[in-house]
Amino acid sequence: MSSRRMAAITGSLLTASFSAVLLLPHSAVADDQGPASSKGGKAVDEAPAGVKLSTTLPSRISVDNSSQKTAITATVKNDGSKDSGDIQLLVVGFDGLKVDDVKGCSAIAKKDLPEGSNSGFSCPVGSLAAGRSKSYAVDATYDLGKAGKICLPVKSADGKKTFWQQGPVPFGTTNPSPNAPATPLLLGTDNKPVGPSGDQLPRTGAGRDVLPLGAAGGALIAAGAAGMWWTRRRPQG
């Protein structure tokens, strides 16, 4: 076989292999989640002097339309000048968004979940150094036939104080795409459910971003730390 023919065959094989790589499907939940956002978050109880705690969620997630699975990155950070002391991060799902697992965290017993939530995990962060952050990989299921919200409270290790709370803040879209491989959802957007009854979805209310957890006095015993789940309302004005 001539060297010219051998080169031609080799080139064809490389082209076919490259094309096959391009055609490989990608996971819907592995899409770029966009910039992190603290949308729907606010400070609640006063943190120790020099400590400034907050959380962020991705600005968008992607839900696999066949499995209803999605992945979310939850991050807690300390933008202050001093170490935070022992804290914990809670990751809680509401309505159509169910938290299936959070790497390195413990599931909250159903009886200890805040009113209205369907799932939750407690993450022992420990002491977060000044200027540092810690991220958690969240596996979730999203029912596109419903609205879906997530909440990230940052609490003291004993659960008595809530230094920061993001949410419950919705992920959703006003233009669902049930026939596509995946549906992108934006943070802070009420979901318009897929199906004929989508237009009948009740509104979640103007105050959804500041909905306090435990307003009905429900107690939460987080795994590994006992405490009361509560978020006191700030006085008006």
Query: What CATH number does residue 90 fall under?
Result: 2.60.40.290
pLDDT score for 144: 93
pLDDT score for 228: 36
Whether 183 is covered by a domain: the verdict is: yes
Closest to 121 in 3D by CA, of 133, 109, 134: 109
pLDDT tens digits in sequence order for the chain, 237 residues long: 555 444 444 444 444 443 333 333 333 344 557 799 999 999 999 999 999 999 999 999 999 999 999 999 999 999 999 999 999 999 999 999 999 999 999 999 999 998 999 999 999 999 999 999 999 999 999 999 999 999 999 999 999 999 999 999 999 999 888 789 999 999 999 999 876 543 333 333 334 443 344 433 333 333 333 333 434 444 443
CB count within 10 Å of CB 85 equals: 15
Whether 231 is covered by a domain: the verdict is: no
pLDDT score for 1: 53
pLDDT score for 211: 38
Whether 233 is covered by a domain: the verdict is: no
Q: Which residues pair with 75 in a beta bridge?
A: 56, 135
Whether 8 is covered by a domain: the verdict is: no
Report the sign of the C-alpha dihedral through residues 103, 106, 34, 97, in that order: positive
Whether 51 is covered by a domain: the verdict is: yes
pLDDT score for 220: 38
Burial 119-139 (b: 16+ CB within 10 A, else e): bbbbbbbeebeeeebbebebe
DSSP annotation of 215: T
Alpha-carbon distance of 104 to 3, in angstroms, equals 57
Whether 6 is covered by a domain: the verdict is: no
In degrees rounded to 5, what are phi and psi of residue 142? -125, 120
pLDDT score for 195: 66
Compute the C-alpha angle 170/173/175, nearest 5°: 165
Domain housing 136 = 27-226
Rounded to two decimals, what is the model's pTM? 0.71
Whether 181 is covered by a domain: the verdict is: yes
pLDDT score for 178: 79
- Tally the domains of the chain: 1
Whether 232 is covered by a domain: the verdict is: no
